[in-house]
Chains A and B, each alone.
Chain A
């Protein structure tokens, strides 16, 4: 009986996830658009650093601390997560459209954990969007931006000015994550779906 319940739940979530994809995929292509900082505001500024109060829930672990985001040279950006006590937990380096860990605190340095963190911070920071040709799509007056990145289908919803408000990532048709951006990137919340549950919440620190 229990098996049937699990199968039912799995099938329901697959169906709902697939529905979410088909709803977004039904928007009609209007034109192509090269994504640059002129039409999409990057989260990491070109000069200076920004800091976020961060809360990360992954694999039944709860971490809090400060995330520092900074461009260190023309091609390189860093994301450093430091706990309240000053312990550096990880340092992720971004060059172009790739992100790699340059330091991970030993107790966290497990492939499943590191992959989940890298993949989701890539999503939050829009690493895969810039300098790519995306599609502007429209349905009933609503506009979204679509990008195919390998087997990932990614959708953006923009708000006022150049800031975005929502991002969905699908692994083919299966919902992988949803990110909500509010107050011009003042708060960012990402939820990862699937077997590895992950939730990231960032709140900008105004100094």
Chain B
């Protein structure tokens, strides 16, 4: 039993140690920037896992997102139940099974913030926002960006974001959002297509 615990500990420690600081951060930044510029549309499945530390419970949801430049996003949950968020320029729709609510981004600070974070996360260029202190790491499989919020109001709800890119820097593979109370949300992406044509009319909700 002790051996098993030791093995688990060593493997966990080994995983954590696998990530080392990126030496040439300028080259990595350039790769991410090139990716953001060349990718005009994305379609991806995702699995979202919310971990509630006090309750030792997880809330797992799955869905699909479609992104199209500039500033169009359809973020759709299919399980455990249907829920849809659509962003189209300065408009945001939220649809559940009872209501469809439409908001103007410019008149709502919270939605503006959600829009900025979601758009820059799916494009991978969140590190350019100036709202985070960024550290760059890598292992054999991923580049990892550790983003620590600088703004007071964001610090209250978010301790850190870990953003993972595949080694060829073609897309964001995974996101961890860690809260001050150690609750965290993980988003695992399964890229389906990039730069495939997406009709504008899917970026609306009725």
Contact = CB atoms under 8 A, between A and B. Distances in A.
A55 B83 contact: no
Interface stretch (B48-56, B125-133, B138-146, B189-197): B48-56
Contacts of A70: 55, 57
A68 B98 contact: no
A80 B51 CA distance: 12
A91 B80 CA distance: 21
Given A87-B157, A88-B179, A82 B59 contact: yes
A150 interface: no
A106 B20 CA distance: 37
B122 to A, nearest CB: 13
Interface residues of A, number: 25
Nearest to B51: A86
A49 B57 contact: yes
Nearest to B84: A84
Given A55-B96, A205-B80, A106 B156 contact: yes
Nearest to B109: A107
Contact of B80 (A62, A85, A207): A207
Interface string A25-55: 0000000000000000000000001010101
Nearest to B179: A88
A80 B81 contact: no
A175 interface: no
Interface string B43-82: 0000010101011010101000000000000000100110
B83 A107 contact: no
Given A84-B83, A205-B81, A207-B80, A68 B52 contact: yes
B96 A86 contact: no
Interface of B: 48, 50, 52, 54-55, 57, 59, 61, 77, 80-81, 83, 85, 96, 98-99, 101, 110, 114, 156-157, 177, 179, 181, 183, 185
**Leading 3 A-B pairs by shortest Cβ distance:** A86-B185, A86-B50, A84-B83
Interface of A: 49, 51, 53, 55, 62, 64, 66, 68, 70, 72, 78, 80, 82, 84-88, 91, 103, 105-107, 205, 207
Given A51-B80, A85-B85, A205-B81, 19 more contacts: A49-B55, A51-B59, A53-B80, A62-B99, A64-B83, A66-B59, A68-B52, A68-B57, A70-B55, A78-B54, A80-B52, A80-B55, A84-B77, A85-B114, A86-B48, A86-B59, A86-B177, A86-B185, A106-B157
